[in-house]
Structure 1
Amino acid sequence: MSDVAFAVVDVETTGLSSAFGDRVCEVAIVRVQGEEQPTSFTSLVNPGRPLSPGAAAVNGITPEMLATAPTFSDIAAEVSRQLEDCLFVAHNAPFDLGFLAAEFQRLGTPLPVTHVIDTLALARRYYAFARNNLGAVAEALHIPYLQRHRALQDAEVTWRVFSTMSRDLIETRRATFADFLTPAAALLQPVGDEVASLPPLLSEALTNHLSLEIHYVTQTQVVSIRRVDPLAIVPNRDTLYLRAYCHLRRDERTFRLDRITQMRIVKARADS
């Protein structure tokens, strides 16, 4: 793989759905090729809209930090240059790729990405980690991960995860480099097909019928901890909701995704 150039990407966003108007608020790209010293590009991005409570709680980015940041149109040419002629690598690639594609679409510019390597997909396909979010995978592979949910640190850890995985898969499991690749077009889902770009834990819970413990910010700004059984993602105007069975209320409830600040998988549901 020494002749292959990689662009390892992470974005932080105002919410979970580019299809419903959420925007990139931070981007990082780490370029790696062979034995050359990796280079990096990172920038906060003024999204032109508020961060959701959930996003702000996760990434720690504040409105004050974004007020003087460049807009995406200001940095689009540099982002394009960083991605050009590289394989796009990300953890939960449909999420990062989808948000960047939406930003480039707003500018009427094609996204210069043809093939993608998704370390989340590799984790699910080849390994049996207890959890598949980036932090859990890094921990399982003994990779230090100090500052989470900021774009540059996440991109750097993603590169270490991919380096470790690819070496293991090629040397011990007879995988080929071609096994890692997915056409970018296959990951860019049509508007309305949101499950592929959800946070990994939520996607995993929906797919495998698992229970979640969520920290949910109510309309009165109180954080409520709930155990829920996710049932479906429901779009309503410009917002996505999680429909789930709530063990506290003993009934089905809907939760705004942009108000969920934390989540963890609890166990398999009783009905699975």
Structure 2
Amino acid sequence: MYAILDIETTGGQFNEEGITEIAIYKYDGHEVTDQFISLVNPEKPIQPFVVKLTGINNAMLRSAPKFHEVAKRIIEITDGCIIVAHNAQFDYRVLKTEFKNLGYDFEKQTLCTVELSQKLLPEQKSHSLGKLVRALGIPMSDRHRATGDALATVQLFKLLLEKDVEKEIVKGLIKSETKKGISPKLLDLLESVPSVTGIYYIYKENGDLIYLGRSRNIKKRVNQHFTGTSRKSKRIQREAFTVTYEETGSELIALLKECHELKVNKPVYNRMLKIDNAPWSMYTEKDPHGYIILKLQKTDGRKKEIISFPGIVEARSALYKIVDKYRLCQKINGMDESDKQACFPLELESCNGACIGKELPEEYNLRVKEFIDANSFYNQSMVLIDRGRAIDERSAVLIENGVYKGYAFFNLNYQVNNLEILKNIIVPMDNNKDTKKIIQDFIRKKKALKIVRL
């Protein structure tokens, strides 16, 4: 659990600043579960430059509660939490000093989003909160006020958790729970995960990730691990200490994240994901008359295939469906081996007559290219838009010049319409034959998937 906060102060000498406003959002890694926002009477004057910066003046704070009046609420909302702030050293020091003045020892672990962003977003020119959220397309209001800055930090931290594919942030949280002696039983662990689409992670007590998986129903899948009787299930049940999850909403992102994170984290009880080698592929060539042929043959890594298949039966079945859907010619594509010049579908009026020269190659090839554009992304730039984790959120998978770049979640259209902002919020992923196969299969199966060509 995290307490994401921002504090505004009077300014002044080191360790003599007084708190003028505080905002705390309790965050469980997925959503805000509690919040506390209050002006605070610092019982000392505010520096003029701070008044100009924040808009908070002495008159506004006369009737505000003093720190000792809000101290109990701060202790309650931060209990069991890691403190998260942008420049956490400053906020934590000021908070700790205020509690020390009351004779209370306020000790917490901290995470600084400045340091995290420097590690996980090294390409950003500036790591100040204002410039960073602007570059990431995160909406921000009331800059230099506790509520506005803290809410922006919540959104930033959410993105940083997504970017942290090595799970260093979560591992730190688990180690802090271990120190407190928390050891929930399997039923408690199961209660902590929902019935949503996404990735789940099972950790042992020392913070090591022992298993990760994906599911359209995380709770159901984790329950299978915890009730299974196989040797692997028994080991997982014996060693499981914490289960975390990442909701994706999108099944495609769950597939891609699983593929990538298995290779990065190498959990001990996972078999490495084996994407089908797809020994058969579909290629194109032109016949002597200029018609584009869709040709099935053994996969050749030196060539650019349109689609790959796990076997020849699946490949032939797909070819028949493609020819039928795009009104292509069975004869041209080598599917009709009869001695007749015309293909049989011509008699059924489901072929436009390319086999007998009735349809010109230019007209016929337009439909072939339409199929290729819809199923292959070689040298193409596009964004695949799918469902997100909430009603007001969507997901995006970016392919640039035929290369898979990664995924992102967005709430505002300008985040995906502006390529530079989209690149900033993208969680980068490896482009390889496995991810290419996952994306191609998903595009082929999910006909309702929205594709935005760039």
TM-score (norm 1): 0.60
The answer on 1:110 being equivalent to 2:105 is: yes
Asked if 2 retains the 8 angstrom alpha-carbon contact of 1:18 and 1:98, the reply is no
Q: 1:141 aligns with which of 136, 141, 151?
A: 136
* 2:7 counterpart residue number: 11
Per-residue CA shift, 1:6-40, capped at 9, x if unaligned? 11010000005442x11111111001125555321
* Structure 1 residue matching 2:21: 3-state secondary structure: strand
What root-mean-square deviation, in Å, do the aligned CA atoms of Structure 1 and Structure 2 show? 2.1
Q: Is the 8 A contact 1:6 1:33 kept in 2?
A: yes
Output the amino acid matched with 1:11.
I
For 1:166 and 1:17, the matched residues in 2 are separated by 35
Q: What's 1:196 paired with?
A: none
Relative to 1, partners in 2 of residues 1:82 and 1:62: Cα closer, same or farther, differing over 3 Å? same
**Counterpart position of 1:86:** 81
AA partner of residue 9 (structure 1)? L
C-alpha contact (below 8 Å) 1:26/1:45 kept by paired residues = yes
Q: Where does residue 55 of structure 1 map in the other structure?
A: 50
User: What is the alpha-carbon distance in structure 2 between the residues aligned to residue 22 and residue 39 of structure 1?
Assistant: 27
- SS of the aligned residue for 1:43 comes to strand
2:168 equivalent in structure 1: 176
What is aligned with 2:159? 164
Q: Are 2:68 and 1:73 aligned?
A: yes
Of the three residues 106, 110, 128, the one matched with 2:123 is 128
Quick one: distance in 2 between partners of 1:102 and 1:37?
A: 27
Which residue type is aligned with residue 161 of structure 1? L
- Give the secondary structure class of the aligned counterpart of 1:25: strand
Is contact 1:18-1:99 (8 Å) kept? no
Q: Deviations over 1:217-251 (max 9, x none)?
A: xxxxxxxxxxxxxxxxxxxxxxxxxxxxxxxxxxx
Which moved further from structure 2: 56-65 or 9-18?
A: 9-18
Q: Which amino acid aligns with 2:115?
A: A
Deviation by residue 1:90-128 (Cα, 9 ceiling, x = unmatched)? 000011001000000000001142x11110111223323
Taking the aligned partners of 1:81 and 1:88, their CA distance within structure 2 comes to 13
Larger Cα-atom Rg: 2
**How many aligned positions are there?**
174
State the shift of 1:130 in Å: 1.6
CA distance in 2, matches of 1:53, 1:121: 30
Report runs of 4+ in structure 1 exceeding 4 Å deviation. Answer: 34-37, 178-183
> Per the alignment, in what secondary structure is the counterpart of residue 96 of structure 1?
helix
Does the C-alpha gap of structure 1 residues 143 and 58 become closer, same or farther in structure 2, counting only changes over 3 Å? Answer: same
Deviation at 1:169, TM superposition (A): 2.3
How far 1:131 sits from its partner (Å)? 1.3
Where 2:61 maps in the other structure, the secondary structure is helix
Whether the 8 Å CA contact 2:25–2:32 is kept in 1: the answer is: no
Aligned to 1:198: none
2:50 corresponds to which letter in structure 1? A
Bigger share in strand: 1
Secondary structure at the aligned position of 2:26 is classed as: strand
Using the TM superposition, give the Cα deviation of residue 177 of structure 1 relative to its aligned residue in structure 2, in angstroms: 2.2
2:245 counterpart residue number = none
SS in 2 for 1:38: strand
- Shift in Å at residue 52 of structure 1? 0.5
Question: How many angstroms apart in 2 are the aligned matches of 1:121 and 1:92?
Answer: 8
Residue 104 of structure 1 aligns to a residue whose secondary structure is helix
Q: Which amino acid aligns with 1:177?
A: I
**In structure 2, distance between residues paired with 1:155 and 1:23:** 18
Corresponding residue number in structure 1 for 2:379: none
Task: Name the CA shift for 1:141/1:56 in 2 (closer, same or farther; >3 Å).
Answer: same
CA spacing shift, 1:92–1:106, aligned 2, 3 Å: same
Instruction: Choose between structure 1 and 2 for higher RCO, CA contacts under 8 A separated by at least 6 residues.
Output: 1
Give a deviation string over 1:134-188, Cα, whole Å, max 9, x none: 1111112110112101111211110100110120122xxx3522577799xxxxx
Distance in 2, matches of 1:136 and 1:91, equals 13
Q: Structure 2: which 5+ residue stretches go unaligned? A: 177-454
Q: 1:187 maps to what in 2? A: none
Question: C-alpha separation between the residues in 1 aligned to 2:153 and 2:27?
Answer: 12
Deviations 1:192-223 (A, max 9, x none): xxxxxxxxxxxxxxxxxxxxxxxxxxxxxxxx
Unaligned stretches of 5+ in structure 1?
184-272
Matches of 2:97 and 2:148, distance apart in 1 = 23
| TM-score, structure 2 normalization | 0.36
Aligned match of 1:101: 96
Q: Aligned-pair distance for 1:64?
A: 1.2
Note closer, same or farther for the CA distance 1:60–1:154 as it changes in structure 2 (3 Å cut). Answer: same
2:27 maps to what in 1?
32
Equivalent in the alignment of 2:224: none
